[in-house]
Amino acid sequence: MKRIRIIVFSAAVLLACIQAITAYAYTERNLLTGKYSKEDVGQMLIRNQKWVPYPDYSDRSGWDALFGDLKGTYVKLGEQYLDYDWKVLKATDFLEYERSGARIEGPWRQNAQAVAFLLMAELAEGKGRFLDQLINGVYVFAETTTWSWSAHTGRQKSHRAIQAWDDPVFDLAAGMAANLFSCVYHFMHEEFDKVDPEISRRLRHELKVRILDPFLFNDSFSWMNRKGGASNNWNPWCNSNALLAFMLVEDDPQRLVDGVWLSMQSVDYFLNYIKGDGACEEGASYWARATGKVFDYLDILSLATGGKIDIFDNKLIRECGEFIARSYVGDGWFVNFADAPAKGGDSNDPFMIYRYGKAIDNPIIKGFAASFYQEKLAARDGALDGYGTPVFQGSSTGAHNSMNMFPPAIMQFCSEFFCSLRGLDIRKELSAEKPSFTHPACTWYPETQFCYMTNDAGMFLATKGGHNAESHNHNDVGTVSFYIDNVPILVDAGRATYTRQTFSGDRYKIWFTQSIYHNTPAINGVAQKDGASFKAAGASFDPARMTYKADISGAYPQEASVKSWVRSCTLGRDRLVIKDNFSLSKSVSPNLVNFMTWGDVDITTPGVVRIKASGKSAVIEYDKRKFTPALEKIELSDPALSNIWDKALYRVILTARGTQLKDSYIFTVREAD
């Protein structure tokens, strides 16, 4: 995308230079339950699935109109599963999580993918060819003890990986299965009944005992936030799927109202918990599963009430939507703090982004969605995958890349089925939308302490303050990411494939979570510490000087012996200048300043680090009198990292020659001559 330097801020920029609020701020916004009562909900809900904006299965003309020229594509996608060999989820697959920490989710994902494409194909064709395999899919999931993943079954009372048959866990996977199978039930139960009524009865039972009852009566799942605590993407993601299941399956009037109301209370907690500036602290590639799922939830709630429950005009909802556009660098790269990957993020679907922009009538989001969509189309590998579906670079998905397809929408894990139908609704509109997104010169999120800057030379800078207990946290207070012409120069590694260790007490023993593997200093040789109390102070942004500044000393433990460490980042016309002003109470070990990069890295010239990455050459200039350079090569074998950064990342380690109590360090990053 062409970047034009214009001064455009999120509304939050009006709060620039205000110091950040505390880490666990909670504001009683109550955007849903403060505006609507439970009695209102009972009166507003459209009963008996009359709210569903899609044809009945038997309405062939309706489905033909919806699928249009994609009808044949979806039929072909379904045909590959007519002889599908359903995968077995073995008990040892779950035990493996306890034994080695490996998450074996492949069989679940493949079976869910099969059901999704069989259903889509049957809705498209309407001849019953896919019915038997759909029934098989229903029974495969019905006979499986849990719809949860092994990494999450520990949320049951036993806290073990083998799921108890009478203690179902409602996790992300169970929620996605609920989305998929509530759609299967809604669209196909009459056809199932023609074969044998027991099929629909069994499916309805499984949805009740695995999803609806736990949601109503089990308050132990932390994502519901019924007992308070931190909140993250699990909340809106699970709630959106629970809401859909209630609206498509529940026929008891009181249980329906109770379920919808509980979901509104829960989503309100998430909207109260997040920062008011609209930033997603989990990172841009998690936006679709946090803010995006808030949108999906509100979309379903609006449909279910005939538009009577609608908060799309709320300022926070608008600010949250714009974050994904402002966090996009270009050529597939997103600003990636915490666990978010730097590239990819298949869940960031231009169809959903466009629907969000349309719902709030926001030209920034709609223009970005159109630009992002056109980039996706242009970046395809140059061929269709044999099923009429474009194949795209950087896809991390499974068989035939079918989860990364355009059009009509990404079917994340092939189970967000209702979202894919919503994508079908607007595919022609999105295709016709003029790509109009131009990146703003700067965006400042004062509460979350994210700051983005660009210049006319094609440079993009992302900085952060914050604290070290953010969702999916890495110890990265004060880090920077820097790009030249959409090529990362100072990088954030992201994360490797999730294992048991990722979310255990040993999380910060993993290299990519540690501050020394971010673009941060080790003060007196000491790295940052995890926890909400380890945070930046005095974070501010000066748009006139294009300078972000924060004291990051609070992110370090006592043994760092630091009084203050003020890091400022200034984006000039053709360079980035990072300046560290510090004061120590004592000096016991040399300071280390770390820079993460990739490609070909050369430190042989004193005072200069030369970097060649993805066809772009850059240098990091430092005072050779003050530092001794070293280079650590980090071999990458995990595809979650190597698919982005190729074979290796590099840590440039600049070790201070002196042990001054007070000093200033200056680093300049620019394109090579």
- Backbone torsions φ then ψ of 296, nearest 5 degrees: -60, -40
Which amino acid, residue 63?
W
Taking only the tens place, the pLDDT of each residue in 557-596 is 999 999 999 999 999 999 999 999 999 999 999 999 999 9
Q: What span, in angstroms and rounded, lies between the C-alpha atoms of 555 and 478?
A: 9
Q: For residue 345, what pLDDT is reported?
A: 61
pLDDT tens track for 39-83: 999 999 999 999 999 999 999 999 999 999 889 989 999 999 999
User: What are the residue ranges spanned by the domains of the chain?
Assistant: 26-48+233-439, 55-218, 449-671
13-51 pLDDT, tens digit each: 333 333 333 445 789 999 999 999 999 999 999 999 999
Q: How confident is the model at residue 380 (pLDDT cuts 50, 70, 90)?
A: low
The pLDDT tens digits of the residues spanning 237-289 come to: 999 999 999 999 999 999 999 999 999 999 999 999 999 999 999 988 889 99
- Interatomic CA distance for residues 250 and 546, integer angstroms: 54
- CA 478 from chain centre, in angstroms, equals 22
Of 211, 218, 213, the residue nearest 242 (C-alpha): 211
Percent over 70 (pLDDT), the chain? 90
395-434: pLDDT as tens digits? 333 333 333 343 343 343 344 899 999 999 898 899 999 9
Please give the Cα distance from 395 to 402 (Å, whole number).
Answer: 10
Q: Are 503 and 513 in contact (CB under 8 A)?
A: no
401 or 100, greater pLDDT = 100
Query: Lowest mean pLDDT: which of 361-375, 378-392, 397-411?
Result: 397-411
Q: What is the mean pLDDT of residues 632-644?
A: 95
Q: How many CA atoms lie within 13 A of 576 on its CB side?
A: 26
Which residue's entry shows tokens 């966090």?
327
**Average confidence (pLDDT) over 151-157:** 92
- How far is the first Cα of the chain from the last one, in angstroms, to the nearest whole number? 24
Question: Which of 11-15, 229-233, 341-345 has the largest mean confidence?
Answer: 229-233
Closest CA to 437 of 375, 366, 377: 366
pLDDT band for position 347 (cuts 50, 70, 90): low
pLDDT recorded at residue 54: 98
User: Exposed, middle or buried: residue 560 (CB in 10 Å: 0-12, 13-18, 19+)?
Assistant: buried
**Confidence grade of residue 349 (pLDDT, cut at 50, 70, 90):** confident
488 preceded by cis ω (within 30°)? no
Question: Exposed (0-12), middle (13-18) or buried (19+): which is 153, by Cβ within 10 Å?
Answer: buried
* pLDDT (0 to 100) of residue 391: 37
DSSP 8-state code for residue 285: G
Average pLDDT over residues 344-360: 86
Least confident of 14-18, 175-179, 335-339, 427-431: 14-18
Tell me the pLDDT tens digit for each residue of 480-530: 999 999 999 999 999 999 999 999 999 999 999 999 999 999 999 999 999
Tell me, what's the pLDDT at 375? 86
Query: What local confidence, expressed as pLDDT, does residue 5 receive?
Result: 38
pLDDT for 346? 58
Strand partners, 633: 650
**Mean pLDDT over residues 525-554, rounded?**
98
Residue 118: pLDDT band (50, 70, 90) is very high
Lowest mean per-residue pLDDT among 217-226, 317-326, 371-380, 651-660: 371-380
Counted residue by residue, the chain has a size of 673
Average pLDDT over residues 190-215: 98
Q: Which residue has the higher pLDDT, 1 or 380?
A: 380
Token pair for 315: 């300022």
Rounded to whole angstroms, the Cα distance separating 382 from 194 reads 44
Assign a CATH topology to domain 449-671.
Beta-galactosidase; Chain A, domain 5 (2.70.98)
